[in-house]
Amino acid sequence: MTILIVLFCIILLVVMITWGKINSFLAFLVVSLLAGWLLGIPLDKIAHSVQQGVGDMLGSLAIIICVGAMLGKLVAESGAAQRITSTLREWFGEKNIRWALMVTGFVVGLPLFFDVSFVLLIPLVFSVVYQYKLPAVWVGLPMVAALSVTHGFLPPHPAPVSLVSQFGANMGVTLMYGLVIAIPAVLIAGPLFTESVKHIRSTPLQTFLPKHIPEEKMPGFASSFFTSLLPVLLLIIGTILTFINIRSEYTRTVISFLANPVVVMLISLGVATYTLGLKKGRTMTDLMNHYSDAVKDIAMILLVIAGAGALKQIFIDSGVSKQVADSLEGLSVNPLILGWTISAVIRICVGSATVAGLTTASIVAPMVAQTHTNPNLMVLAVGAGSLMFSHVNDAGFWIFKEYFNITVKQTFLSWSLMETIISVAGLAGVMLLHVFI
């Protein structure tokens, strides 16, 4: 009955947005309240769950998305994006520029959360799209696939790290196996799959539309590249430093503070304000006006993401993930396939890859020891399952849809299918390794 209620609520949400033409944020609020009531959450608790879901989602993303939009706007307006894309084209050629972006996404995605790395890299994708008149989804999806794979499969991302601990796996071995599986998964779900979505037409956010600037007035490549990717560099350095045994408590505290994504974004925007703005003769008033416009452009994206957070919290508070896990626990199949299946079903019902992975871990952890299943492979199987078929109850679905400015149907045909391919390819890689290990 629980799964039927979840399915009904998801279908209702899609119908309200696509057929009813209702604002996505309002549709999320209505469906979240209805879902809470149908799933048995006490009436006096439903509104609290909705508020908590909105707050938790915006609390982790609002500053990063807003400051990221400001940085992206400045990179586009200053000519830095034009300089970077023209240089990438010279190095790789227009036909191979998607591969360059995919490799960039994989490298950047290793140390960074999906949401953060997506916001940081999307201006580069859109600058390529606008400058060379290429289909946005076709160009951007390989990079997004790389970000998704690293988020679901590879330490030091939170879910894989937690699974390593719960299953008693080895972090280094898991990372090595994960790379073996991740690279083919990215190639299949990225450049190969995206050939089938080349027909999808979209007009990405105007915030990142680069103005054509004469060659002599553009900033240099080194300055453009350094300023645009400074947040990535700072976050990577911060991640590396956290693994170094530093004895001074104060030094560790300072590093932790400076490595926080919010602090990194503010530092990066400050540097960009000088290098791409004030240094080039622009006034502070002019720059602040551009920043205000950037936030206005992405305001509705924030609300839609917040709505997805509300629905996800309703599903979590109602215990959907536990009920689904309990109903699948008794299946008589290979433990690796069972772990993937439980994780995949919870992901589809709840929408959160992290919740799917951690809930599954509590169910299958005892089984790993009892059946002598390779714990490193179980981490990857559960991680792959947690990426299965992202749809309307996942914030990632809406981030992709709103940034690329495509329809719900087009998002299913691109983003959702890409996530499904990654998940299935991940399981296939796990089972292949299982044969030889």
Inter-residue contact 380 to 174 (CB < 8 Å): yes
What pLDDT band is residue 206 in, cutting at 50, 70 and 90? confident
Mean of pLDDT values over 251-255:
87
What local confidence, expressed as pLDDT, does residue 211 receive?
A: 64
* H helix runs in 39-168, sequence order: 43-78, 80-92, 97-109, 114-132, 136-153, 158-167
Inter-residue contact 160 to 383 (CB < 8 Å): yes
Inter-residue contact 301 to 399 (CB < 8 Å): yes
pLDDT at 51 > cutoff 90: yes
What is the total count of domains within the chain?
1
Which domain does 372 fall in, by range?
A: 2-436
Round to the nearest angstrom and report the end-to-end CA distance of the chain: 40
What local confidence, expressed as pLDDT, does residue 111 receive?
A: 62
**Bigger pLDDT: 143 vs 210:** 143
What local confidence, expressed as pLDDT, does residue 139 receive?
A: 94
Tabulate helix, strand, coil % of the chain (nearest 5).
80, 0, 20
State pLDDT tens for residues 379-406. Answer: 999 999 999 999 998 989 999 999 999 9
Inter-residue contact 172 to 166 (CB < 8 Å): no
One-letter amino acid identity for 201? Answer: R
What local confidence, expressed as pLDDT, does residue 255 receive?
A: 86
What local confidence, expressed as pLDDT, does residue 330 receive?
A: 67
What pLDDT band is residue 60 in, cutting at 50, 70 and 90? low
State pLDDT tens for residues 289-339. Answer: 989 988 887 888 788 888 888 988 898 899 887 777 777 766 678 999 999
What local confidence, expressed as pLDDT, does residue 154 receive?
A: 85
Mean of pLDDT values over 198-217:
77
Question: Which pTM does this prediction carry?
Answer: 0.79
Specify which of 73-77, 148-152, 244-248, 368-372 reaches the highest per-range mean pLDDT: 148-152
